[in-house]
A and B are shown apart, each in its own frame.
Chain A
């Protein structure tokens, strides 16, 4: 309970987005490009042409299905990465033996370049969505694992011992001691994983023929439809911003009462 007159602790220090004035340089470049760019330019079509190209692509009913697929794969992969990452991170954080045994293998897999992983997965599993999901989750899961592992290791031993002394069962220990302790770290991991996840979704779509926006971009490039390529690029940019903002907002909502007012410990 808060005492009257005390202020709520400020939420996490970093603002979601820097001041919007900062968009001016980018807007200016796009404006100048539109005003002075050659509409028939092969390499640098001005933004107005992008809109036309977007319409042309949508008229052939290519854009929305691709967007839908990309977003669906992205969402499923991110949720899977969060669940798997939190579980694996908790295991690695709780057991020194697991850390020793799987540390080197994890280090190797973590540094495995995703573009090189896609062809391997394609040869083994074919051009399927399962294949894409395995590669995407396999890449996006690492920041979540690492953050969770750190957080589990940072849980004070006293707290675990107190739980044991109170006779909490193993599952109760996990739900009341571990989960609240690692939730913020998992969410930070998910925030870091969000752009990575989107990148690898696009990458998998570019390298395997499973459709989606990544496939659409490459197809436009191979047809020398430069306005179409720039249009896709702009769409992907908006996707990047929206997904990051959504996950950032979700993190704030989930952690709005964090840390709980009765919890001891560091606020950072």
Chain B
């Protein structure tokens, strides 16, 4: 049991509460934690907090799924064929370095402030880490395994599916985790500057309305959502691919 690890956050929150209450920390818009907790109830009944969480979660997951599918297809093609790698990697490198946040205005301009725009821009931003990890995971398959497969005269598809992809699984999983985080961030950003729905819009609306307690609630919701999605993904991966990922973590 990590006692200091539990004590420090409690102390920090306690200090925040105390310092605001006794007017040592005097930012105009810094509410004490207890007020933030008290604001949750009002938001659930009056501002559809649950609906916002569901909207943002659903869009982020949908965009993530699209990104995974596209990235798996392209990443496999690049990882398996050195010629494809040579002829396309530089383009991918250029498009990957393009900061995703700069794309949000472009997509909003082309598709308008819609759910479709959120999904497109989040999927685009999220697919790169996944694509790179699939490609380099396949390229990094241990040569000895490939030799064994050749000795056993396995078909090319067999080699890819039962040998190379499993060998790349830990790397692909970490790519998928990165992609999920990016997807959520970009969805929230798109909601903040474009499509006025979900948690991102909630943050901006409460900021404009100068209701810091409510804004803090939405901000913490986004932070918790990121942690929860990440934990859920890790758990699912452990449960469904436990045979592949035993060596992933000590």
Residues 99-132 of B, flagged 1 when their CB comes within 8 A of A and 0 if not, give 1111111101110000000000000000000000
A246 is an interface residue with CB less than 8 A from chain B: no
Those of B66-120 within 8 Å (CB) of chain A:
85-95, 97-106, 108-110
- The listed residue (A25, A195, A218, A237) touching B105 by CB distance below 8 A is A218
- The listed residue (B2, B97, B110) touching A44 by CB distance below 8 A is B110
B12 is an interface residue with CB less than 8 A from chain A: yes
- The listed residue (A17, A116, A199, A203) touching B219 by CB distance below 8 A is A116
- Chain A residues, Cβ within 8 Å of B8: 101-102, 104-105
Q: Closest approach, in angstroms, between the C-beta of A13 and any C-beta of chain B?
A: 12
A105-B12, A111-B181, A229-B109 are contacts. A18–B86 as well, Cβ < 8 Å? yes
Q: Are B109 and A226 touching (Cβ within 8 A)?
A: yes
Q: Closest approach, in angstroms, between the C-beta of A176 and any C-beta of chain B?
A: 31
Q: Are B2 and A103 touching (Cβ within 8 A)?
A: yes
Q: Are A19 and B90 touching (Cβ within 8 A)?
A: yes
B204 is an interface residue with CB less than 8 A from chain A: yes
Which chain B residue shows the least CB distance to A120? B219
- The listed residue (B30, B86, B189) touching A21 by CB distance below 8 A is B86
User: Given the complex of chains A and B, what is the CA–CA distance between A113 and B212 in angstroms?
Assistant: 18
A23-B94, A116-B188 are contacts. A221–B4 as well, Cβ < 8 Å? no
- The listed residue (A23, A108, A218, A221) touching B227 by CB distance below 8 A is A108
Q: Closest approach, in angstroms, between the C-beta of B214 and any C-beta of chain A?
A: 12
Which chain A residue shows the least CB distance to B208? A119
- Chain A residues, Cβ within 8 Å of B207: 119, 122-123
User: Given the complex of chains A and B, what is the CA–CA distance between A221 and B110 in angstroms?
Assistant: 10
Which chain A residue shows the least CB distance to B190? A115
Q: Are A25 and B88 touching (Cβ within 8 A)?
A: yes
User: Given the complex of chains A and B, what is the CA–CA distance between A97 and B108 in angstroms?
Assistant: 47
Q: Are B109 and A17 touching (Cβ within 8 A)?
A: no
- Chain B residues, Cβ within 8 Å of A20: 90
User: Given the complex of chains A and B, what is the CA–CA distance between A115 and B12 in angstroms?
Assistant: 23
- Chain B residues, Cβ within 8 Å of A232: 102
Q: Closest approach, in angstroms, between the C-beta of B1 and any C-beta of chain A?
A: 10
- The listed residue (B91, B99, B222) touching A22 by CB distance below 8 A is B91
- Chain B residues, Cβ within 8 Å of A43: 109-110
User: Given the complex of chains A and B, what is the CA–CA distance between A112 and B184 in angstroms?
Assistant: 11
Which of B7, B85, B219: most chain A Cβ within 10 A? B219
Q: Closest approach, in angstroms, between the C-beta of B117 and any C-beta of chain A?
A: 12
A166 is an interface residue with CB less than 8 A from chain B: no
- The listed residue (B30, B97, B102) touching A217 by CB distance below 8 A is B102
Q: Are B223 and A108 touching (Cβ within 8 A)?
A: yes
Q: Are A123 and B105 touching (Cβ within 8 A)?
A: no
Q: Are B89 and A22 touching (Cβ within 8 A)?
A: yes
Q: Closest approach, in angstroms, between the C-beta of B172 and any C-beta of chain A?
A: 19
Taking beta carbons and an 8 Å cutoff, which residues of B are in contact with A? 2-9, 12, 27, 29-30, 85-95, 97-106, 108-110, 181, 184-185, 188-189, 192-193, 200, 203-204, 207, 212, 215-216, 218-219, 222-223, 226-227, 230
Pick 24 A–B contacts, CB within 8 A, sort by A.
A23-B90, A23-B91, A26-B95, A43-B110, A101-B4, A102-B8, A104-B9, A115-B189, A116-B218, A116-B223, A119-B192, A199-B99, A207-B192, A217-B105, A221-B105, A232-B102, A233-B106, A237-B94, A237-B102, A240-B97, A240-B98, A240-B99, A241-B97, A244-B97
